[in-house]
Each structure stands twice: as C-alpha cells, then as structure tokens.
Structure 1
C-alpha cells in the first residue's frame, strides 16, 4: 500500500533553506522577521478628548496599527511637539491635557491624516 503523500514535498522532512540540513539538525541562527511599515499617508489617526474621573483631560490618539508603526517612538515625538507628558498603552497614545490641536498639527506634519472624534470640551 502506498502512502498518500509519497514522493511529494510533504513526504520529505523539512530542511533548512540556508544550510540544507534537516530542520531538527540545523544550527543556523533564526532569520530576522521584517516588520512591515505602513506609510503615514495611508493611515488616519483619530484624535479625541477624554475626561478622567477626577476631571483631568486626556487627548487620545487611536486607530493606528501597532504592527505597522512604532507607536512608542510616535508617542515620544508627540509629547515633544505638544510640550506635555503622556504614554502609550492599550494600543493608543494618551497625552496629558487638551492637546488636540497641537497633536493634529504634529500628526499632519509627520504625514498622517487626522480625524477628530466628538468628545468632552
């Protein structure tokens, strides 16, 4: 009786593309995974104002792909451009205070499209 995948690539054990040895015997370093960057012009950032429990205002920048952007670096650039503190967490950028205008100007300068979401203020 013949095997279903006899003589096909699925019948042979996988080999390393670099050294040609079986993957189980290969000592090659793992290939680096290239991150795909999404150009800023192809993205729209949502800018909104959020009111926290003790009355503090926070500007939120959201709906940017965390895989296609370096959002921690963008957070740092926005904090500098807006002259305020902030953080990146839960997939969005939070800036202290009502910095919607400054954040929009900075994002547009970096090449992003922006859209304001209705909120307090």
Structure 2
C-alpha cells in the first residue's frame, strides 16, 4: 500500500488529479547530499556491484534495492546501508539511477 492509497483511505472525498500523480513520480522525494558511490569488487572470485552513500530514509534505499534487482533480474541484498548486486552491472545501474535523478559516482575500473 503506497502513500496515495493510504491518503485515499483517510480522505475518501478527495480527488487526485493526474497532474499531482505525475509530479510525485517525476520529483523523487529522496533526499541526497552527495552522489551515490557505485563500485565493483570481487568476493570469493565472483563479481559484485556495491552502491553506498545514500543519505535518505532506509526504507527508500531498500525499495531502490528491490527495484534494481527486479529490473536487472539478478540477486542481491541490502546490508549495512549498502546495496549489493550480484554481477558487474555498474553501467546499467548508473543509467537507472540517473533517470531517477540521482547523482552517481563510479569508483574502480
């Protein structure tokens, strides 16, 4: 249940226009001071991509992790304020994050 559904339950008479919905989608409300760091590592001989440096709410970062894993069709996890994605997907992840309005910094080769 997202925020719009919760508000609809609280205020059933309020009508949401398409402009309000589009503004919410276009303007991601995730607060960020510095760029998200996207780096590549190998653990036990297998490549992984690590995202760190997010300064907003933990739930938003977890939702972002789930969305990235779904879009890339890969496994991964969220631990210690880091998103860990299995495989080297730095370029694709950076494109997705830039479309969402994040500043992204690539670290490593």
**TM-score, normalising length from structure 1?**
0.59
How far is 1:71 from its partner? 1.0
Inter-partner Cα distance in structure 1 for 2:36 and 2:91: 13
Q: After TM superposition, which residue ranges in structure 1, 4 or more long, deviate above 2 angstroms? A: 37-40, 66-69
Q: Secondary structure at the match of 1:102?
A: helix
Tell me which of 42, 62, 65 is aligned to 1:72.
62
- The runs of 5 or more residues in structure 1 that have no matched partner are 1-36
Q: Deviations over 1:40-89 (max 9, x none)?
A: 5x54111000110x201110011002537611100011112222111110
Q: Aligned residues, how many?
A: 81
Tell me which of 68, 83, 101 is aligned to 2:73.
83
Inter-partner Cα distance in structure 1 for 2:74 and 2:96: 13
Structure number with higher helix proportion? 2
Inter-partner Cα distance in structure 1 for 2:94 and 2:46: 20
Q: Secondary structure at the match of 2:94?
A: helix
RMSD: 2.0
